[in-house]
Amino acid sequence: MRQASTVLVFATSGPALLEITGEVAEWLTGTGVGDGLLTLLCRHTSASLLITENASGAVRGDMLRWLDRMAPRDGRYAHDDEGADDMPAHLRSALTGVHLAIPVGGGRMQLGTWQGIFLAEHRDAPHRREVAAHVIGA
Amino acid sequence: MRQASTVLVFATSGPALLEITGEVAEWLTGTGVGDGLLTLLCRHTSASLLITENASGAVRGDMLRWLDRMAPRDGRYAHDDEGADDMPAHLRSALTGVHLAIPVGGGRMQLGTWQGIFLAEHRDAPHRREVAAHVIGA
Amino acid sequence: MRQASTVLVFATSGPALLEITGEVAEWLTGTGVGDGLLTLLCRHTSASLLITENASGAVRGDMLRWLDRMAPRDGRYAHDDEGADDMPAHLRSALTGVHLAIPVGGGRMQLGTWQGIFLAEHRDAPHRREVAAHVIGA
């Protein structure tokens, strides 16, 4: 039994769902762990992680518009000193969550056919986002 | 230290919260792992996993109606080619999440007394749903 | 490779986000695990766990008011025999989730600078809340 960890870094430029499945899979392959458990943690409070459909760009657009409605910018928040996009970003981050746990088998994440891993950026300005990755197994 | 994994399969027939605590516990017992960590991943983007109250059917009904309000069918989504229930299903799946991580002690999941594990089906048509399960421990 | 587990107990007195990062870190340090994976499970269906901004009390107030709007008390729920705050508490618990998975490196949780771990209490009455903690690593 052994483990490996890293921090994956992604550049974002405004609200979007950025698919990171490939980057995660590439790192996982490099660790040589065949069977085990993969964990991802987005190290921010205004970006998050999400598993959703990987085939349709329309799904991602609908998802972003839905997040806009669920945590709107005009929410009259007490916390507004970092801009109108900041508090909604914290709420959207809490709504979708910042961590994922994914079983690994045969060297591959046991995702379904249509599942992709997405880094959700909720702020307007460009950011450098860190995702801590950990795998334990054999 | 050792690990075990499987894929549990469940048949669904329309929107519902299907309790799967028993099936998961039965598999866990069979692995012989006494202390460790259990992870579950729903391998779909229109179904999800949820821990909620296991005693009251009324809670499950309220939960489903709440999900209906949070991600309504009449949401004027761009992604609608798979039916009016499809995009809301993706949103409800993102809202509740597709993975669970549960510590194991004395051969049992360390759930609270009133906690049950539920597979949430968000599509109208019958589906065959896969839940990847992994346990690591001793 | 080894593991450790415990149950952390917190007293709450009404809806609030109670930061528990320090208590979790203190327990983690005591386990002596340097690199690994930490898992937390809130053993209740009307309280939950959340990672959000640790610096601003205004963020926590906005988060609580947002949860009030997302799962309001006047929701005309079928399940109301335990009080008007009960069913909304179940919904808020499902919305934010009851478990967290956090990679550990150098004996520390790999949280971002601004991330704190919060126990979210959703009921009005004082409660004693249990958080099961597990770490595996080396």
Helix, coil or strand: residue C81: coil
Please answer yes or no on whether C41 and B101 come within 8 Å at the CB atom.
yes
Tell me: ipTM over 0.85: yes
Res A103: pLDDT: 98
Confirm if A130 and A8 have CB atoms less than 8 A apart: yes
With beta carbons under 8 A apart, name residues in chain B contacting C95: 95
Query: In chain B, what are the domains?
Result: 2-137 (2.60.120.460)
Please report which helix (H) or strand (E) contains residue B45, including its range: none
Closest by CA to A43, choosing from A99, A90, A118, is A99
Res A74: pLDDT: 87
* Separation in Å, CA of B37 to nearest CA in chain C: 7
Q: How many CA atoms lie within 13 A of B6 on its CB side?
A: 12
- Per-residue pLDDT band at A31 (split at 50, 70, 90): very high
User: Which residues does B102 contact at the CB level (< 8 Å), separation at least 6?
Assistant: B37, B38, B39, B40, B109, B110, B111, B117, C39, C41, C99
Please report which helix (H) or strand (E) contains residue A70, including its range: helix A57-70
Condensed to tens digits (0 to 9), the pLDDT of residues B60-118 reads: 999 999 999 999 998 889 998 899 999 999 999 999 999 999 999 999 999 999 999 99
Residue type, C120: A
Condensed to tens digits (0 to 9), the pLDDT of residues C42-85 reads: 999 999 999 999 999 999 999 999 999 999 998 889 998 899 99
How many other CB atoms are found less than 10 A from the CB of residue A92? 24
Chains within contact range of chain C (3+ C-beta pairs < 8 Å): A, B
Cα C88 to Cα C80: distance, rounded to the nearest angstrom: 10
Residue A81 has pLDDT above 90, yes or no: no
With beta carbons under 8 A apart, name residues in chain B contacting A62: 75, 77-79, 87, 90-91
Please report which helix (H) or strand (E) contains residue C56, including its range: none
- Candidate from B3, B39, B90 with C-beta closest to A59: B90
Backbone φ, ψ for residue B5 (5° rounding): -150, 160
Please answer yes or no on whether C103 and A70 come within 8 Å at the CB atom.
no
Cα A112 to Cα B48: distance, rounded to the nearest angstrom: 12
Task: Look up residue B83 and give its DSSP letter.
Answer: -
Cα C70 to Cα C66: distance, rounded to the nearest angstrom: 6
User: How confident is the model over B18-36, as a mean pLDDT?
Assistant: 98
Rounded to a whole number of angstroms, the distance between the first and last alpha carbons of chain B is 5
Virtual CA dihedral for B23, B28, B29, B33, nearest 10 degrees?
A: 180
With beta carbons under 8 A apart, name residues in chain B contacting C132: 103, 105, 110
Confirm if B66 and B94 have CB atoms less than 8 A apart: no
With beta carbons under 8 A apart, name residues in chain C contacting B137: 3, 136
Helix, coil or strand: residue C39: strand
Cα C38 to Cα C24: distance, rounded to the nearest angstrom: 10
Q: Tell me the pLDDT of chain B averaged across its residues.
A: 97
* Separation in Å, CA of B87 to nearest CA in chain A: 7
Cα C138 to Cα C135: distance, rounded to the nearest angstrom: 10
Cα B96 to Cα C28: distance, rounded to the nearest angstrom: 28
